[in-house]
Amino acid sequence: MDKPSNQKNKVFAKKEVNPILKTTQEIAEKIAQHPDCNTYMPLSAGIESTAALLYAVKDPDMKPFCVHWYEQRYGLFADAMAFYTQKQAEYFNLPYGNDRSMLSMLPYTQEVPIIVSGLSSFMSMCIAQPGGIKFKWFMMGANAEDDMRMRLQFREYRKIMATYVSDSLDGTGVDLAKTIDGIPQVINPLDFLTKAEMYALIIREAPELLDTIWSCIAPKGTLKDRDGKITGYVPCGECFKCAELLHAKKQAADAVFRYQEGVKYFTTILKDMEGS
Ligand SMILES: [Zn+2]
């Protein structure tokens, strides 16, 4: 995950505690309350994880538990992602946990990428015994244009977990039964789609979610109702993530598909582009 360059090395130590945030332990306890859940569904409110969420919701075998890896250091950007990922989980009435374990906040580290702290927290929950989570799948939302880093990182984490549960010092001793039983498969079921194609998928499958997509790394502020309750965040419209989103929308609007399918798709995306 990218971070705003102007916030480099800055630590945001907020006084008030966001009540939706949980420690890894609290997340594990919450997952235990949902024994039917079999899918760990990390959400960032970006296009890719939103598309992956749609897949998990529509797949009859998957019962997702939604998790957002909260990173306090990112300030308003982190709050916006926490806000919109919770909205997405609520939209589908799914259990949700907002992990604030924040391993990267250790005082002696300058920077630990959120993917590392998030995966460490996930790994801890999987291999913790007793009480480790029993999930079949770990959902991933990279698009066809993304680089290989995330995919490769996941592979090594699974290997660490598999050798651990097998009590083996290297991969030659991996216990198949224990791996099947204890180590979730990482799946990236829409990795053949570009960002724009995923955006179009969201328009067709759940246009209501368009208002919950968030990717701006430098929000300008919050929207509040009369009671002072936050109802949304304002994107900057200038950062590279805002540019990526706009580009995806334009590409989706230019799709050949709209000529095949006609009015509804086209009007939906035009409406959304007016709002961006
Ligand atoms: Zn922006």
- Digit-by-digit pLDDT tens for the chain (276 residues) are 444 444 444 444 454 556 666 677 777 788 888 889 999 999 999 999 999 999 999 999 999 999 998 877 788 998 999 999 999 999 999 999 887 765 555 555 556 677 777 788 788 888 877 677 889 999 999 899 887 877 787 888 899 999 999 999 999 999 999 999 989 999 999 999 999 999 999 988 999 999 999 999 999 999 999 999 999 999 999 999 999 999 998 888 887 777 677 667 777 777 777 766
Q: Note down the domain range covering 135.
A: 24-211
Instruction: Give every CB contact of residue 76 below 8 A, 6+ residues apart in sequence.
Output: 219, 221, 222, 233
Residue 188 within a domain: yes
Q: Does 194 fall in a domain?
A: yes
Vertex 122, ends 90 and 109: CA angle to 5°? Answer: 110
Residue 237 included in any domain: no
Residue 219 resides in a domain: no
pLDDT at 237: 94
Residue 118 lies in a domain: yes
Compute the distance from residue 144 Cα to the ligand 1 centre, in Å.
22
The Å distance, Cα 35 to ligand 1 centre, comes to 38
- How many structural domains are present in the chain? 1
How far, in Å, is the centroid of ligand 1 from the Cα of 75?
Answer: 14
Which stretches within the chain are classed as H helix? 24-32, 47-58, 76-91, 114-127, 149-165, 176-182, 195-205, 240-253, 257-261, 263-274
Residue 230 gets which letter from DSSP? E
Indicate which CATH number applies to the domain containing 184: 3.40.50.620
> In this structure, is residue 170 part of a structural domain?
yes
Measured distance between the N- and C-terminal CA atoms of the chain, rounded to whole angstroms: 22
Residue 223 lies in a domain: no
* Domain assignment of residue 234, yes or no: no
Residue 243 exposure: Cα atoms within 13 Å on the Cβ side: 3
pTM strictly above 0.95: no
Which residues fall inside 5 Å of ion ligand 1, going by CB? 216, 235-236, 239, 242
